[in-house]
């Protein structure tokens, strides 16, 4: 038998040690007006674009990461997070362009530890109703099991009426998160002009045919309604070819003046991402001439659809209806709070920013310690403002910190994970501090007693010294022990510390 010939592709796969890598995610154009518009090449991206690669220690010591050339051992071994992202296998300098991927990998790990369920964005809801501890919203099949009945609960991104991509004939099709067409509000002027020239103008004839079909259906319904009222047999349906140009022109003029209906028809024809309801427009106000056309009620109408699945693959939890079971105190009413860092104080109307597990969140709104301001009557003894919220705290080592409870997260059109937090409960904060050794609830062990504050330790030492003096007086007393009347100490009040101390 002769030698087998290998194709160029097969030879490439044989010589290559890593031949399959996913393409990097494209950069998303930002439409926000905040400071994130000024991007830095060294700043952490809001979402990962390249796959994170790791290697076992035995291979990492040799510089083997599964790619066609080894990576420098001096750099890859001098880290506690052996995670890299490869931007380019072969550059013009014949090297591998890579950098550390610990930023996104650790953020994913910390997000998983916080156990946050991804939800559909809630447009137009009062932030005070969400963050208030009196109104608890639990993700449970889209129903609010604890808050007031007037406020709907947060809905998971994995619900059947939200987690689908196929276009349906009913109005529920607007709730899908993926569309073939773009979201017009996110496009730049140049991209919008290119979209008109390449996708919209070639479909003019097709769109006019669609409008003729809609007009024919409306005229057929009108004729049938008039025939029923007059008691006559139903006339034959109107054919789109039988519509005159004059009637069609009048129909186009009516469409131009009815913007909601026109937007709905164009969005379905081009499969565009839904736009928000026009300002000042109220549903079911009777301004429609076509009742069959419905206005989009998509949750992504105001902010826009996310660039990926609404969960972003960062969390697959469907509900927050779980209980934390403490080994000593049993089931807890609140989740374990997260110690957040105050990274930006409040500036005028802009609320303070918190760093929660590698993500930036806004302080919870409402009447809480984050927004507490002393009145003229004086500050309450049980309330105090958190340091670092109203001004930059330069005295606290490591920056000002505060406990919060993250309860939901969403993905905005820019691909950023927006975490929402609320004020943590007092008992949950004490238990979290006890786990870190910063405070103690039960001081019946040497470890707990060693964690007491200095005034408490001084008070304990003084009590021990007084008891030692009483023992010394008993030992060196000249009064014989027989003269002291015996006292039953079994199940007596003194054995439980109930008798008042006697004066000597």
Contacts 24+ apart (CB under 8 A), 247-254: 247/215, 248/211, 248/212, 248/215, 251/211, 251/215, 252/211, 254/289
Q: What is the mean pLDDT of residues 452-478?
A: 59
Among 254, 237, 298, 251, smallest CA distance to 272 is for 298
**Closest listed residue to residue 347, CA positions, set 390, 394, 316:** 390
The residues near 404 (Cβ < 8 Å, ≥ 6 apart) are 337, 338, 340, 354, 356, 361, 364, 421, 422, 423, 424
Lowest mean pLDDT among 302-306, 330-334, 402-406, 465-469: 465-469
The pLDDT tens digits for 216-236 are 888 888 888 888 888 888 888
**Tokens representing 58?**
């035995």
Q: Percent of the chain having pLDDT more than 70?
A: 68
**Residue predicted with more confidence, 29 or 99:** 99
What's the pLDDT at 465? 63
The continuous run of DSSP H or E covering 455 comes out as helix 454-476
The tokens of 109 are what?
């790990």
Residue 7: band (very low, low, confident or very high) from pLDDT cuts 50, 70, 90: confident
Mean pLDDT of 401-419: 90
Of residues 58 and 467, more confidence is placed in 58
Whole-model pTM above 0.85? no
DSSP helix/strand/coil, 207: helix
179: nearest Cα among 158, 169, 200, 165:
165
Lowest-confidence pick of 56-70, 276-290, 350-364:
276-290
At residue 417, the 3 state secondary structure works out as strand
Q: What are the structure tokens assigned to 178, written together?
A: 């993926």
Distance, CA of 87 to CA of 95 (rounded, Å)? 11
Position 387 confidence tier, pLDDT thresholds 50, 70, 90: confident
Per-residue pLDDT for 274 more than 80? Answer: no
Residue 406 confidence (pLDDT): 92
Residues of the chain with pLDDT > 90, as a percent, come to 11
pLDDT at 419 over 90: yes
Contact 354, 343 (CB under 8 A): yes
Residue 292 has pLDDT above 70, yes or no: no
Least confident of 125-139, 314-328, 344-358: 125-139
Q: How confident is the model at residue 179 (pLDDT cuts 50, 70, 90)?
A: confident
- Among the residue ranges 99-108, 272-281, 282-291, the one predicted with the least confidence is 282-291
Q: Where are the domains of the chain?
A: 14-114, 164-270, 324-435
Mean pLDDT across the chain: 75
Instruction: Report how far Cα 45 is from the mean position of its chain's Cα atoms.
Output: 16
Residues whose CB is less than 8 angstroms from the CB of residue 32 and which lie 6 or more positions away in sequence, other chains included: 414
Helix axes 204-230, 245-257, angle to 10 degrees: 100
Q: Which residue has the higher pLDDT, 238 or 274?
A: 238
CB distance 178 to 165 below 8 Å: yes
Residue 288 has pLDDT above 70, yes or no: no
Q: In the predicted model, what is the mean pLDDT of residues 377-383?
A: 53
| Band of residue 168 on the pLDDT scale cut at 50, 70, 90 | low
Q: Which two tokens stand for residue 243?
A: 């519509």
Residue 418's beta-bridge partner residues?
A: 410
- The CA distance from 490 to 145, in Å, is 53
Token pair 């550059």 is at which residue?
Answer: 91
């Amino acid at each position: 038998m002769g030698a087998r010939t290998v194709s160029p592709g097969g030879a490439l796969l044989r010589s290559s040690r890593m031949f399959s890598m996913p393409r990097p995610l494209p950069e998303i154009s930002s439409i926000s007006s905040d400071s994130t518009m000024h991007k830095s090449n060294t700043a952490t991206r809001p979402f990962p674009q390249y796959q994170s690669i790791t290697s076992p220690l035995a291979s990492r010591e040799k510089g083997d990461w599964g790619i066609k050339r080894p990576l420098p051992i001096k750099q890859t071994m001098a880290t506690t997070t052996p995670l890299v992202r490869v931007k380019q296998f072969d550059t013009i300098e014949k090297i591998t362009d890579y950098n550390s991927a610990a930023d996104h990998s650790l953020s994913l790990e910390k997000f998983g530890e916080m156990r946050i369920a991804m939800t559909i964005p809630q447009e137009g809801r009062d932030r005070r109703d969400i963050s208030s501890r009196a109104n608890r919203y639990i993700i449970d099949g889209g129903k609010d099991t604890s808050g007031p009945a007037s406020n709907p609960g947060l809905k998971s991104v994995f619900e059947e009426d939200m987690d689908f991509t196929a276009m349906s004939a009913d109005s529920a099709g607007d709730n899908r998160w993926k569309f073939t067409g773009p979201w017009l509000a996110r496009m730049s002027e140049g991209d919008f002009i290119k979209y008109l020239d390449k996708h919209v103008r070639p479909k003019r004839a097709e769109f006019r045919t669609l409008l003729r079909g809609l007009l024919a259906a409306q005229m057929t319904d009108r004729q049938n309604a008039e025939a029923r009222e007059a008691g006559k047999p139903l006339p034959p349906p109107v054919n789109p070819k039988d519509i005159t140009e004059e009637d069609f022109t009048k129909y186009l003029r009516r469409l131009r003046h009815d913007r909601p209906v026109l937007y709905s028809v164009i969005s379905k024809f081009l499969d565009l991402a839904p736009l928000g309801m026009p300002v000042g427009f109220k549903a079911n106000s009777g301004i429609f001439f076509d009742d069959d056309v419905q206005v989009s009620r998509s949750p992504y109408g105001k902010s826009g659809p996310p660039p990926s699945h609404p969960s972003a693959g960062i969390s697959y939890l469907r509900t927050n209806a779980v209980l934390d079971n403490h080994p000593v105190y049993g089931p807890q009413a609140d989740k374990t709070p997260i110690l957040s860092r105050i990274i930006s104080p409040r500036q005028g109307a802009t609320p303070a920013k918190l760093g929660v597990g590698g993500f930036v969140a806004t302080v919870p709104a409402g009447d809480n310690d984050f927004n507490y301001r002393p009145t003229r009557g004086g500050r309450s003894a049980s309330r105090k403002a958190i340091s670092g919220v109203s001004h930059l705290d330069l005295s606290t080592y490591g920056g000002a910190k505060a406990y919060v409870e993250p309860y939901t997260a969403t993905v905005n059109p820019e691909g950023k994970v927006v975490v929402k937090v609320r004020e943590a409960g007092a008992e949950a904060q004490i238990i979290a501090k006890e786990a870190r050794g910063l405070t103690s609830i039960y001081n019946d062990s040497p470890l707990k007693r060693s964690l007491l504050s200095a005034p408490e330790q001084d008070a304990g030492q003084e009590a021990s010294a007084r008891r030692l003096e009483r023992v010394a007086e008993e030992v060196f007393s000249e009064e014989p022990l027989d003269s002291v009347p015996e006292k039953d100490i079994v199940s007596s009040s003194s054995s439980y510390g109930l008798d008042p101390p006697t004066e000597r």
